[in-house]
Amino acid sequence: MPFVDDLALVEVLIGLVAVLLAYTGVLAFWAIRTNRPQWLRTTLKSSAIPIGGVGAVTLALAMWIEMTWPFPIAYMGGYNIFFGDVMVLFGLVTIAYAFAAYLGHHLHLVGVLALVAGVVTAFYGWVGYTATPAFTTEPFDTFLLYGAFGLAGVLALPATILTDYYLSAVAAGRSVWQSVVTPEPRRVAKGMGTRAAQPVSDLGTGKGSDTKGLETRYRVHWALQIVMLAFPVIMTAAAVAAFWYFGTTLPGHLGAGPAKAP
């Protein structure tokens, strides 16, 4: 097969998917934080089409790299492995997400796939960064790119687990992250001062059953909010890394100057 240098295009594609995933992650976080399950379902289903479409193109180009880049030249012999392998994994994860989100299936299994792919991607980046001689002309930029996508893959698992838990609880009619915030006011007996203040009902010990005056509010714990926000934040960093890498790659590939990254 003829060699076609489509690396710069693939970098743009993975950057686009990273932007879409980061945006979807922010919308999903806000839907859960404001307790809007239907909006969350709609958001996930709507994101499946653009993410799946771009992911499919990325996978096709990655397979092309795998089959056409094993050059007999010594310094380029492993480029199909170093670039093609992780792109194939990326394409598989995005397509799996697209199917699960569009069909309304659980996302945590896709999260497991993203976790494994993320660890593998980070390892590829570390090997490329520590290789001697350096595998790329800009090993640190490459390490940041692979590391950001690797970390995003790891964080995808807790994000998908929390999303599935929320939607499953709502579907089953269970209360999700409810907390009692208004206790029953106390009474003060006439002429007894504040020492005679007593609760209307003994709710704390379970002896009373009167819940009048208590109020429940939907409130996601701050730690869970951080976990849910971590994924879109790191995915945004991955998008920045992808477009930065694209900017250093394209000039040399177009003949405008030496490329900083192969």
Q: Cβ distance 50 to 13 under 8 Å?
A: no
CB atoms within 10 A of CB 145: 26
Specify the pLDDT at position 233. 97
- Is the four-CA dihedral 203, 209, 214, 217 of positive or negative sign? positive
Specify the pLDDT at position 252. 63
190 DSSP assignment: T
Cα 119 from Cα 110, distance rounded (Å): 14
> Global pTM?
0.80
182, HSE (Cβ side, Cα atoms, 13 Å)? 9
Which domains are assigned to the chain?
A: 7-172+230-253 (1.25.40.600)
Specify the pLDDT at position 84. 86
Task: With CA atoms as reference, report the closest residue to 149 among 195, 106, 87, 104.
Answer: 87
- The model's pLDDT over 157-212, given as tens digits with 9 standing for 90+, comes to 999 999 999 999 999 988 888 876 555 555 555 555 555 445 444 444 444 444 45
Strand pairing class (215-218; 178-182):
antiparallel
The end-to-end CA distance of the chain, in Å, is 20
Q: Is the pLDDT of residue 74 over 70?
A: no
- Mean pLDDT value across residues 13-31: 96
- Mean pLDDT value across residues 7-19: 91
Cα 52 from Cα 114, distance rounded (Å): 15
